[in-house]
Amino acid sequence: MYIPFEQLPPEARLWIYQADRRFSETEEKVISAALREFCSEWSAHGNPLETSFLIKYNQFIILSVNENAADASGCSIDGSVRVLKELSQRFNNDFFNRTNVAFREGDQINLYPIQKLSALFKSTKLSAESITFNNLVPDKRSFLKNWEMATEKTWLAKYLPKGTLSV
């Protein structure tokens, strides 16, 4: 059963999918309609799940389940992945590429291959203060507090040139 994201409790479980490119306005409308329909019907072992989704920055899909009401099962999670794979193929926009890291630069989201990060930090294209996204946050509380963070506070700090971390 779909409920507005704001109504989910802080401990609601979530999954974040990062697209390879921004969604067009039309794509975002179609994706929103498909996700709303999916969330309205999402269930685990016949039990309806309290679910929601967000689309952020025209490039991230956040799916969420209130597991206080009913737990998402492996099969129900597989169902959500299937829907996202279908949308990914339909719009030729990969939601499963984990080799690119997103950074918010002004009002733009830019993706960079992991293997180029050291050079980008060294060239100062990116810095310790550059905002990146932790797409592995497990719940709504963490999403609201720690999804967007300065690079120096994330696992990506290992790519920063020596001596650039603030203390």
Q: Which of 15, 21, 4 is nearest to 61 (CA)?
A: 15
Instruction: Say what the pTM is.
Output: 0.91
pLDDT at residue 132, as a whole number: 97
CA pseudo-torsion sign 87, 97, 2, 145: negative
pLDDT at residue 71, as a whole number: 63
When the pLDDT of each residue in the chain is averaged and rounded to a whole number, the result is 91
Measured between alpha carbons, how far is residue 71 from residues 62, 82, 126 in Å? 17, 19, 40
Encode pLDDT of 40-99 as tens digits.
988 778 778 889 999 999 999 999 999 776 666 677 677 788 999 999 999 999 999 999
- Identify whether the C-beta of residue 148 lies closer than 8 Å to the C-beta of residue 103: no
pLDDT at residue 42, as a whole number: 81
Residue 61 Cα to chain centre, angstroms? 5
Region 12-35 average pLDDT: 96
pLDDT tier for residue 125 given thresholds of 50, 70 and 90: very high
Residue with the bigger pLDDT between 74 and 109: it is 109
pLDDT at residue 57, as a whole number: 96
**Whose structure tokens read 């920055």?**
57
pLDDT at residue 70, as a whole number: 61
